Chain A
């Protein structure tokens, strides 16, 4: 089955800095890569996703890049703010069924 590795497990940055979270996946058939943000005590919520026919996608301060050859994808957050502090999960799934396999999560801490 699919295996998703996520790094780092903890990331601490100063407000205004950029943050990068990286994930690798094992199944070359995976074609959908969502990112979820889970604030303390709340449910995971989708913040951005990318499909395999696209190399990069941006939404304001967040962007995701995908390298299908290397089987890795990354989340980039620019101009971080304290409210960006949360656990971020990457996931991978393939067409025909949607069972996302999640990474173990990255705890992002943004210091004011």
Chain B
């Protein structure tokens, strides 16, 4: 069974440009989470999508946005890129919401570099 896949693996953009990152969850998983992993800051929660809806977002400006498609894959868009947006962006998927928490499986991440 394929795990969570992310593309591209590396992305270099110029300040002010837009970046689009993609994530395909494990088959059967309906929830997708996006995290930013900047050096020394751990995993910062960005966005959570479930069943096509944005369920929650972390403490990030509105230029970070995304969506989830009917096949549960997801896109993260970052507009007006700033140098400090350079980080590893990790996507994770799980079986979805409910009273019983379920394990989140991570993708390999997209390394975004803003120059």
Contact = CB atoms under 8 A, between A and B. Distances in A.
A49 B105 CA distance: 13
Contacts of A97: 48, 55-56, 97
A91 B105 CA distance: 14
Interface in A72-106: 89, 93, 95-105
Q: How many interface residues does chain B have, given as a range?
A: 20 to 34
Interface stretch (B17-25, B62-70, B72-80, B106-114): B106-114
A101 B101 CA distance: 13
Contacts of A42: 108
Contacts of A99: 33, 45, 48, 56
A43 interface: yes
Given A44-B43, A103-B42, A105-B42, A98 B109 contact: no
Contact of A104 (B35, B42, B56): B42
Given A43-B107, A43-B109, A98 B90 contact: no
B31 interface: yes
Interface in A4-62: 6, 31-32, 34, 36, 42-46, 49, 51
B106 to A, nearest CB: 4
A32 B101 contact: yes
Pairs A-B, 3 closest by C-beta atoms: A104-B42, A32-B101, A102-B43
Interface of B: 4, 31, 33, 35, 40-45, 48, 55-56, 90, 94, 97-109
Given A43-B90, A43-B109, A95-B101, 4 more contacts: A31-B101, A89-B43, A97-B56, A100-B45
